[in-house]
Structure 1
């Protein structure tokens, strides 16, 4: 009765027989054979197959929805029986990078693991925008504006950006009064070479250039404090240095306010209880 159902759901989730086979660590022919036998038993075609792609039939789509609901109920029942509702356990893989993740997110995840010691956490600090599904991550912490509709993005904290330079740098260079004047300055670049600004409620990008580039904010901060140029950094990183007079903020009236740190995770109907619990924990901590 249950034969082929797992294979069918994996094909639905991953969009191909090949990817389903990789996820289940079996051969593609095994997946294809199991799905074919399932269709024969049901007397219905679940997938439309072409040489390039597969897609669910209307019957297959309705069947998948019902099966996912049944499987989730089965997982919840097993969790409750095994005590995982009280003691979640297993591995959670997290992708993130930067000062905010290291100093603000990681300590909250540590609290979670101390509360649930049977949970294992693998945190990968990498500025690369990883493919969560393809690379097997449960969730990620990302900064900026979320545009990927294939992922669920929940805001953790607003991150207001500001331009900063040292008094030493400004003593030897003119102070910019508009974003366009940044073309005349040495700009210390984190990721892209375009910075966003608010011109009378219209967001525009300004191209910048400079002789120092780093994907780590502390490296940019060090170069800025040394008088190398102008940097575009989050206020929580530079505030103490501004208050001490080591840095000066620039063009405050042009700064955008739509950046944030986000908790991002795939759209999964069957999410492990431990991952759901960590998501709820982080959202509650940052809302507080």
Structure 2
């Protein structure tokens, strides 16, 4: 038996005896170079087995969410991860009953795999005749100071890098339907529930409870979050504010005579002494430094607000959109 037959037999089930029998021989109909190319392709396929699932778990942060995104069972995801770790001889993910966390080896491995995945996507795009220089429209929806001050400048740099891409940013406080309204990307905050969308975290916005010295002079004492029931609270999207003290989390329902979905309007009302605001630290940075506002309940961790880059779940994302997604994830702070 030749070395090619010995190699082929390592792939149990890929080539059965019929394939290299005397009358129906794969080796008979193909030269050695073709067979080696076939075997190499099978090796690559075997090597990639489980890696897409591992990357999905890393992206979504749990086995169940990765299973939902890939339309497979959670047990299948768990089994593939175990087999991958067994093949590699190392633990990639630390599991607890409540969460998973990348090990140091898993973090480094995921970063390398992402580079390989992007390189493969680029190669596929070139093979399919997609131009390497992206061009065409990208529609984005979002609202607020974070989009205007943190996201938009990054997109400006992207447009300078790729001048043939045309970007339209729609500043709309309403959560539009990306699929129905034809948007490529959205910037959203807080909890996301639409299973048709993929969400990638852009940043974590650290929240502060704020008031002006003038308001505090005439207001009742504020010692614990429960005392907020006695205060005029300036409300943005939600009238339920969450606080953490050690392991305990309190959700306080607040009320007040001022409500707006514009953080600058809330900031102005707070500086004017109207009430207590729950705002991102970066929005109030200058007012805190000047003493116009002071931070409250610092012994309690105010619930932080994540910002998310959201896009429709599609089999094929245009190159220009994929490049912008990667660019935003890399450069948005």
SS of 1:269 mapped into structure 2: coil
Offset at residue 252 of structure 1 (A): 2.0
Q: Tell me the SS of whatever aligns to 1:243.
A: helix
Q: How much does 1:124 deviate? A: 0.8
**CA distance in structure 2 between the aligned counterparts of 1:195 and 1:257, rounded to whole angstroms:** 7
Q: Separation in 2 of the partners of 1:198 and 1:106?
A: 32
Alignment of 1:1-288 (within 5 A): 76-80=126-130, 84-85=131-132, 87-286=133-332
**For the residues of structure 2 that align with 1:163 and 1:276, how far apart are their CA atoms?**
37
Maintained 8 Å contact 2:213/2:294: yes
The count of residues paired between Structure 1 and Structure 2 equals 213
| Partners of 2:175 and 2:164 in 1: CA distance | 29
**CA displacement at 1:158 relative to structure 2:** 1.1
Q: Is contact 1:203-1:256 (8 Å) kept?
A: no
Instruction: Return the offset for 1:95.
Output: 0.9
Q: Distance in 2 between matches of 1:139 and 1:256?
A: 28
Distance 2:199 2:303 in 1: 18
TM-score normalised to structure 2 length: 0.60
Unaligned runs of 5+ residues in structure 1 are 1-60, 62-71
Question: Equivalents in 1 of 2:255, 2:181: separation in Å?
Answer: 33
**Secondary structure of 1:253 counterpart:** coil
TM-score, scaled relative to structure 1? 0.69
User: Which runs of at least 4 in structure 1 moved beyond 4 Å after TM superposition?
Assistant: 72-76
On the 8 A contact 2:209/2:302 being kept in 1, the answer is no
CA distance in 1, matches of 2:300, 2:279: 14
Whether the 8 Å CA contact 1:191–1:214 is kept in 2: the answer is yes
Q: In 2, distance between residues paired with 1:73 and 1:234?
A: 41
Pair member with larger Rg: 2
Higher-RCO chain (CA-CA 8 Å, sequence separation at least 6): 1
Q: Partner of 2:282: helix, strand, or coil?
A: helix
Give distance in 1, aligned partners of 2:224 and 2:311. 38
CA distance in 1 between partners of 2:158 and 2:211 (Å): 38
Superposition RMSD on alpha carbons, in Å?
Answer: 2.1
